Amino acid sequence: MILTEHLTKQYGGLVAVNDLSLNIPQGQFFAFLGPNGAGKTTTIKLLAGLLKPTSGRALVGGYDIHKDPVEARKILSYIPDMPFLYDKLQPMEFMVFVGQLYDMERTEVARASDELFEVFGLDEIRRQTIENLSHGTRQRLVIAAALLHQPRVIIIDEPMVGLDPRSARLVKNVLKQRSRDGVTVFLSTHVLPIAEELADQVGILHRGKLVAVGTIDELREVSGEKGELEDAFLALTRGASATVEMP
Amino acid sequence: MSGLTFFRLQAEVNARIMRRNILALREKSYLMVAVILLFVVGYWIAGYELFYMGFHRLAELPALQVIVLDRMLYLFFAFLFLMLMFSNMIIGYSTLFKSQETQWMLTLPVRSLDVFQWKLLETTLLASWAFLFLSAPLMAAYGNARHVSAGFYVKVFLLFVPFTIIPAALGSMAILAVARYLHRHVFKWALFGVSTVGIACAFAFLKPMQAEDLEPAQMSAALQQLLHNSRVAIEPLLPSYWVASSMIDWAGGLTGRGMFYFLVLLSNALMSMLVCVAVSRRLYYEGWSRNHGQGEFQLGVPLLDKPIKLPRMALVERIVNAWPRLHGATRALVLKDIRVFWRDTSQWSQFVIFFGLLGLYVLNLRSVAYDWNNEYWASFVSFLNLGATSMTLATLTTRFVFPQFSLEGKRLWMIGMVPYGLKRVLLEKFWLSSISSAAITVPLMLTSSWMLRIPGWLTLLFASTIAVMSFALCGIAVGIGALFPNFSSGSTANRRDDNPARIVSGFGGTFCFLLSLVYLVLVIGSEVLPMYVSFAANGFNDRGQPWGLVFSWIFVSLFSLVAATIPMSLALKKVELLEI
């Protein structure tokens, strides 16, 4: 569902993403890890079509995100770490607006919004203006809006920032459930326990290069660390340069 | 989704937001709404009266009225065109490339071309409405002076639509090229360079009239020279020429010619849009992607490819460090404020324009030495100079000092927690801005007084007045800035507090400027009045004894002390209780 082939992004002399090749099948929950400045956000922006690769290509649902962006974005939802919302709109108005942008029928928008509002506990604030919502509520609203058009691929950058434990649990459950239902989730995070808990596969990026990809157990095995994912992560990002592909 | 559907949805949501913003006015203070309305209506009335008076004076010269009036219109539209283009470039850069909303739109299933077109429309409206608002009194006065019918104003409105499109298209194309081919840091320098060159050109080409030009015998020649110097505005290939010609012809009853120029303008506006869209097809997405990639810029020109390093303000830092009896925390705050301002290149272009205008003002002072043997005239010009300098100071304090407290917004948690508290922060801002303002205005006053050959004792009086005013106006700006701060609403998307220009454009900024103006009027009025009374008592030939002025200076100093103390005291009380 997400395919990158030799994806490279250079900033002058700096190679932010270096020859990244990934194949993430439908329904997989993929956690993308890496230290600060490893190139995670650049990769995500390349996958969302916000940045143009220096070389290589990225396909979402079979569509090249740079050659056929409109078709790719129809099946994609991108949730950045600092999402945008219209402060003067009400949550329900925002949902209707987003639904129309994705060519959804009004009745369908209303039905899906009701469902998502209930799931995310947003029912009580549907008629308040967004500017009055707390950070956590805004974050839940953004995620609800991103799920409105039933995307087949979700790309999400640091989703748990600012969420209380209940909201964080809720978001994790929803994302995992979507993944079980066949949606591909590409999640970038610094919080290793989240990856440990949710991910089917984990990719570790270090200095723009994919240094390891596989299940948690496979990462533990290849890193030689048998304990927490944190130990494996630290071992794998200790100056590695070659990709370790799992069988 | 089609581009039209996207436009419709955007228009609907923006209309809803606008309606909600208007309704939100009901929740704001009546004082704020009244001040804004008063400002709008007051500006229109005062502007109209001023222009109409000017046109009326021209009517006393029937042979010249139409020529001068029309040439003024050509010049006005030529400058308006340049300002619109500049405004479109500045707003377009942030709307097309820096806005979070744009980033969000580019992740939606719409073409980047549609996003560009919508944002272009938004830029055009944002960049043009203020100019139209400001020029409305001039248009009304012009129409009245030419005795036109009501239909003329409808035609003028129709003319403005294509007229605003051309600079928007040209400005956006320039921005697209800059974003695609220049790094954003270089862009700031480019903007700075363009501003500097613009000011230099103004110095070179806008030669002031000399005193002798104003002698009646020389008027005709001076007028000839004026018309000759402004002939660039009647270049028939300029859009400003088409719009002015159309207006002039419609006002003169030449409907056919007026329509011809309107159609020329309209066809060029449509063509410029087509070219702009074609250019955006190639450059917008590339430019956006490049603009959001750090350090991606490589022109292959070593000088430009090097990262820009600003020189350290070593001398200023040494002075601040060596300043005796300065508390360590205050010293740190002063250094921080100086460094932050020095490194914020986005403010520099405005600073250049600001000082460029001051330079032009000083350059033009030579021309007002008209009848210097007449003491009444000399005093009149001296006060005019004080008025101009203090007005400049009020603009400076509102634009650069008022936002200082709001700019601390996201950092308040840190400086508010230091053991010395926010009171020290506020006092530091007051002293730093007052001393800096006085350092600019006192030399300016001394130079302009010297150029105007103002007597020594009067120069001293004006210099000390402007020094006192610097402290009072900074007190007002810092105080009102803390009393009516413009912080972020808490939204991650909302970055209002990072942009000083936006902070100033809010209620607090407007209130601060109006309060500063009231203060100026009272101060200058209280110095002018005894002077006028003294002249009147002596038949306007002799200034008489200077005691009246000395007493008024003492009053001005005491009044300034009060003007600075009240907002500062209120602000100090407020920050003491401020919940961060």
Instruction: Please compute the mean of the pLDDT values over residues B392-401 and round it to a whole number.
Output: 86
CA distance B285 to chain A (A): 8
Determine whether the interchain pair B103/A71 forms a contact, defined as Cβ–Cβ distance below 8 Å: no
The pLDDT-based confidence of B346 (bands split at 50, 70, 90) is: low
CA distance B162 to chain A (A): 30
Cβ–Cβ contact A87 with B under 8 A: yes
Determine whether the interchain pair B111/A70 forms a contact, defined as Cβ–Cβ distance below 8 Å: yes
The pLDDT-based confidence of B375 (bands split at 50, 70, 90) is: confident
Determine whether the interchain pair B293/A51 forms a contact, defined as Cβ–Cβ distance below 8 Å: yes
pLDDT computed for residue A232 by the predictor: 83
The pLDDT-based confidence of B502 (bands split at 50, 70, 90) is: low
Task: State both tokens at B365.
Answer: 């002072």
Task: Give the strand pairing for A2-11 and A14-24.
Answer: antiparallel
CA distance A195 to chain B (A): 25
pLDDT computed for residue B490 by the predictor: 39
Instruction: Please compute the mean of the pLDDT values over residues A103-129 and round it to a whole number.
Output: 91
Alpha carbon distances (Å) from B138 to B42, B43, B253, B508: 14, 11, 20, 28
**A80 contacts in B (CB within 8 Å)?**
103
Alpha carbon distances (Å) from B554 to A190, A240, B467: 65, 76, 13
Alpha carbon distances (Å) from B110 to A51, A138, A144, B135: 16, 24, 20, 37
Cβ–Cβ contact A78 with B under 8 A: yes
- Smallest Cβ distance to A52: which of B21, B286, B489? B286
> What is d(CA B125, CA B85) in angstroms, rounded to the nearest whole number?
12
- Smallest Cβ distance to A87: which of B103, B297, B494? B494
Q: Chain A to chain B, count of Cβ pairs less than 8 Å apart? A: 100
CA distance A135 to chain B (A): 7
Cβ–Cβ contact A25 with B under 8 A: no
**A76 contacts in B (CB within 8 Å)?**
107
The pLDDT-based confidence of B308 (bands split at 50, 70, 90) is: low
**B492 contacts in A (CB within 8 Å)?**
82-83, 135, 138
CA distance B26 to chain A (A): 15
Asked if residue B547 has pLDDT above 80, the reply is no
CA distance B297 to chain A (A): 6
- Smallest Cβ distance to B110: which of A9, A51, A70? A70
Cβ density class A104-143: b for 16+ within 10 Å, e for less: beeeebeebbeebbebbebeebbeebbbebeebbbbbbbb
- Between residues B420 and B259, the one the model is more confident about: B259
Instruction: Please compute the mean of the pLDDT values over residues B322-341 and round it to a whole number.
Output: 79
Instruction: Please compute the mean of the pLDDT values over residues B342-347 and round it to a whole number.
Output: 66
| Winning range, highest mean pLDDT, from A92-101, B227-236, B389-398, B533-542 | A92-101
Where do the domains of chain A lie? 2-75+152-245, 86-150
Instruction: Please compute the mean of the pLDDT values over residues A75-86 and round it to a whole number.
Output: 89
Q: Which of A17, A42, A54, A84 is the best residue to mutate to test the B interface, defined by the most B CB atoms within 10 Å of its own CB?
A: A84
Asked if residue B211 has pLDDT above 80, the reply is no
The pLDDT-based confidence of B545 (bands split at 50, 70, 90) is: low
Query: For chain B, what percent of residues have pLDDT higher than 90?
Result: 23
Task: State both tokens at B123.
Answer: 């830029």
Determine whether the interchain pair A138/B289 forms a contact, defined as Cβ–Cβ distance below 8 Å: no
* Sheet with A184-188: strands ordered across: A76-79, A153-157, A184-188, A29-33, A201-206, A209-214, A244-245
Asked if residue B544 has pLDDT above 70, the reply is no
Task: State both tokens at B194.
Answer: 């363009």
**A69 contacts in B (CB within 8 Å)?**
111-112
Asked if residue A33 has pLDDT above 60, the reply is yes
Instruction: Please compute the mean of the pLDDT values over residues A26-37 and round it to a whole number.
Output: 91
Q: Which listed CATH number (3.90.1150.10, 3.40.50.300, 3.40.50.10490, 3.30.360.10) goes with A2-75+152-245?
A: 3.40.50.300
Where do the domains of chain B lie? 8-183+232-292, 312-343, 347-580
pLDDT computed for residue B476 by the predictor: 95
pLDDT tens digits, one per residue of B61-98: 766 777 778 888 888 899 889 888 888 888 888 888 88
- Between residues B99 and A32, the one the model is more confident about: A32
pLDDT computed for residue A82 by the predictor: 82
Asked if residue B213 has pLDDT above 60, the reply is no
The pLDDT-based confidence of B150 (bands split at 50, 70, 90) is: confident
Cβ–Cβ contact A29 with B under 8 A: no
Determine whether the interchain pair B492/A82 forms a contact, defined as Cβ–Cβ distance below 8 Å: yes
Residue of chain B whose alpha carbon sits nearest to that of A93: B13
